Amino acid sequence: MSSDGLNFLVVDDDELLRLTTKNILRSLAYTNSISEATNGAQALEILRQSSGAQAIDIVFCDLNMPEMDGMEFIRHLGESRAEVSLIIVSSHDDTLISAVRKMAAAYNVRLLGAAQKPVSRKNLESFISEHKPANAAANPRKAAGPKGTAPSFALEEILQGVAEKQFEPFYQPKVNFKTGLICGAEALARWIHTQHGVIAPYAFIEALEKSGNIDGLTFIMLEKAAAACRLLHDKGHLISVSVNLSLNSLTDPLLAEKITQVVRKAGIDPKYIILEVTESSTMTAVAASLENLARLRMHGFGLSIDDYGTGSSNIQQMTRVAFSELKIDQSFVKNCTGNKELCIVVKSSIEMAHKLKISCIAEGVETRHDWNTLREMGCDTAQGYFIARPMNLASFMDFCSEYSSEKVLTA
Ligand code: C2E
Ligand code: CA
Ligand code: CA
Name every protein residue with a CB atom under 6 angstroms from any ligand 1 atom: 172, 188-189, 200-201, 205, 214, 217-218, 221, 244, 246, 276, 306-307, 330, 363-366, 383-385, 390
- The answer to whether residues 309 and 261 belong to one domain is yes
Whether residues 103 and 154 share a domain: the answer is no
Q: Which domain-ending residue is among 135, 161, 176?
A: 135
387 alpha carbon, closest ligand: 1
Asked whether 127 and 371 are in contact (CB, 8 A), the reply is no
d(CA 99, CA 115) in angstroms, rounded, equals: 13
Q: What is the CATH number of the domain that holds 111?
A: 3.40.50.2300
Rounded-to-integer distance, Cα 41 and Cα 72, Å: 9
In a domain, 71, yes or no: yes
93 belongs to a structural domain? yes
pLDDT at residue 2 in the model = 40
Does residue 2 belong to any structural domain of this protein?
A: no
Whether 333 and 395 map to the same domain: the answer is yes
Domain boundary among the residues 135, 168, 190 is at 135
Q: What is the pLDDT of residue 363?
A: 97
Distances (CA, A) of 139 to 84, 135, 152, 211, 372: 10, 6, 7, 18, 40
Would you give per-residue pLDDT tens digits along the chain (411 residues)?
Answer: 344 689 999 999 988 888 889 888 888 888 788 999 998 999 999 998 888 888 999 999 998 888 888 888 898 888 887 889 999 988 877 777 778 888 888 888 888 988 888 788 888 888 998 888 754 433 333 333 333 445 689 999 999 999 999 999 999 999 999 999 999 999 999 999 999 899 999 999 999 999 999 999 999 999 999 999 999 999 999 999 999 999 889 889 899 999 999 999 999 999 999 999 986 655 667 778 888 888 999 999 999 999 887 755 555 566 667 789 999 999 999 999 999 989 999 999 999 999 989 999 999 999 999 999 999 999 999 999 999 999 999 999 999 999 999 989 876
Separation of alpha carbons 180 and 176, rounded Å: 5
For residue 394, the number of C-alpha atoms closer than 13 Å in the C-beta half-sphere is: 0
Domain count within the chain: 2
Q: What is the pLDDT of residue 188?
A: 98
Same domain, 232 and 358: yes
Same domain, 70 and 16: yes
In a domain, 130, yes or no: yes
Q: List the one residue out of 335, 13, 360, 2 whose CA is nearest residue 183.
A: 360
Q: pTM (2 decimals)? A: 0.71
Per-residue model confidence (pLDDT) at position 174: 98
* 72 counts as catalytic: no
Q: Which domain holds residue 121?
A: 8-135
Shared-domain flag, residues 285 and 364 = yes
Domain termination residue (choose one: 135, 150, 175): 135
CA 379 to chain centre: 19
pLDDT at 137: 37
In this prediction, residue 330 carries a pLDDT of 93
The residue to mutate among 167, 363, 381, having the most atoms of ligand 1 within 8 angstroms of its beta carbon, is 363
My answer on whether 81 and 173 are in the same domain is no
Q: What was the pLDDT predicted at 155?
A: 96
Phi, psi (degrees; rounded to nearest 5) at 288: -65, -40
Contacts of 49 by beta carbon, 8 Å cutoff, 6+ apart = none
Using DSSP bridges, classify how beta strands 58-61 and 8-11 pair: parallel, antiparallel or unpaired: parallel
| E-state strands within 157-202 | 167-176, 182-193, 197-199
What number does the ligand 1 atom closest to the CA of 383 have?
A: 15
CA distance 402 to 125: 31
Round to whole Å and give the CA distance between 308 and 297: 19
